[in-house]
Each structure stands twice: as structure tokens, then as C-alpha cells.
A and B are shown apart, each in its own frame.
Chain A
Amino acid sequence: GEDVEQSLFLSVREGDSSVINCTYTDSSSTYLYWYKQEPGAGLQLLTYIFSNMDMKQDQRLTVLLNKKDKHLSLRIADTQTGDSAIYFCAESSPTSGTYKYIFGTGTRLKVLA
């Protein structure tokens, strides 16, 4: 079945880069996603990558995809205190005319001033 794994915690200093890693199992996933959850809120899409890409850059965010190893990472450059949140990796797979999203545990990022 589908499975997505992430480490639970990451702590970085303000201004440093953060790298959040994820491994997934479903090699047929067409898209892979990063979602962000701030305290007291639901998840919001941060960025995504199509499975035939190796890298995607979006301002301070860089997504790297190693399809062979089924490894996805999210790099946040110049991390700010406002980046403190839980970051979820997700893959999607088809289910009866629509898609379902399989998420990991989330990585809690703490940014130290």
C-alpha cells in the first residue's frame, strides 16, 4: 500500500536553510506535494512537483525529487520565524474517478531567532 515517511522534528536558526525530507512508496504517483499547517489551522498547499521533474524552484522554496530512490525534499532558504509550522509531504493516487492524497506524519519545523 501507499506509505509516506518523514522525520518528526527539525530545528534551525533564523536565516539558515531548512531541508525537510520525505520518502514515499507509490511509484505511480504523478504529483507529489508539500503542505504547510500553521497552529490551529488546516493544511495549505505550499508547492508541488510533477513526477517527471527533478527540481522545482519557487522563490525561497526548492523541491528536489529523486524518483529512483522515491525521495522528496523541500528546502527553505533564509528561514524565517514565520516559517515555523508543520510540513507534510503527500502523494496522490487514483481512486474511482478521483484521487486520494496520502500524507506523512508531518515535520515540525522550529525556527530559532
Chain B
Amino acid sequence: ETGVTQTPRHLVMGMTNKKSLKCEQHLGHNAMYWYKQSAKKPLELMFVYNFKEQTENNSVPSRFSPECPNSSHLFLHLHTLQPEDSALYLCASSQAETGFAEAFFGQGTRLTVV
């Protein structure tokens, strides 16, 4: 149990579907992150939230829409995705105010777009 829970663990969706990924942390952290993990590519930072405010959008296409209603919950809303969006989506949280902080990761959602 890492303290960061992601649901669902696996998701298969068509290109015209709308779905959401959910992330929840009970560690009292202020920052939450979405990462995309694809084979043979660097772990790609998508979004950063600090105290519910988005601080970083790493040029992510608008078909990915994040939502952070409070410091404990983070969503990634998906619509009209492409097959190349198939990947493992990882959520993380940290209490990174002083430069060092451990980022705690969830187990990820394995997304397949068909």
C-alpha cells in the first residue's frame, strides 16, 4: 500500500468514448502529478497541481482534461483519444516544499485505446 490509489487498474476504450481516471492520496501531500509511461520513452510529466491549482501543463493535448477538486483527489478526463494514447498513466503525490521530497506513486491505470 503506497498511500496513492488509482482506479481503474485497466481500461479499454474506443476512440469516441469518454472516460475518467481517478487518483486518491491520503498522505496529506500538497502536490499531485499525472505521468504517462510508454515503452522506450522517458516517463512523461503531463500535469502538476499544487494545493488544487494547476502549476504545470506540459503541452498536453486537450483530449486530456485534468481536474483537481481538492488536494487529495485528482482526475484525468479522457475523450476522443487516439491509439497512440495507449499507455500506463501514473499518478503521484509529494510534499515538495523544500526541494527534497519523495514522490509517491500509484500502481497506474493501463489504458488501451481501440
Contacts and interface: CB of A to CB of B under 8 A. Distances in A.
Interface residues of B, number: 31
A101 B107 CA distance: 17
Given A103-B43, A104-B42, A98 B96 contact: yes
Given A92-B99, A101-B103, A104-B42, A43 B94 contact: no
A70 interface: no
A99 B96 contact: yes
Interface residues of A, number: 29
Given A95-B56, A97-B50, A100-B33, A45 B43 contact: no
Interface in B31-71: 31, 33, 35, 40-43, 45, 48, 50-51, 53, 55-56
Contacts of A4: 42
A96 B55 contact: yes
Contacts, number: 84
B45 A101 contact: yes
Nearest to B47: A100
Interface of B is mostly: loop
Contacts of A43: 43, 90, 92, 103, 105
B77 to A, nearest CB: 21
A105 B40 contact: yes
A5 B30 CA distance: 28
Contact of B101 (A88, A97, A99): A99
B102 interface: yes
A31 B99 contact: yes
Nearest to A8: B40
B70 to A, nearest CB: 16
Interface string A72-113: 000000000000000010001011111111111110000000
6 contacts: A42-B106, A42-B107, A43-B92, A92-B99, A100-B45, A105-B40
Interface of B: 2, 4, 30-31, 33, 35, 40-43, 45, 48, 50-51, 53, 55-56, 90, 92, 94, 96-97, 99-103, 105-108
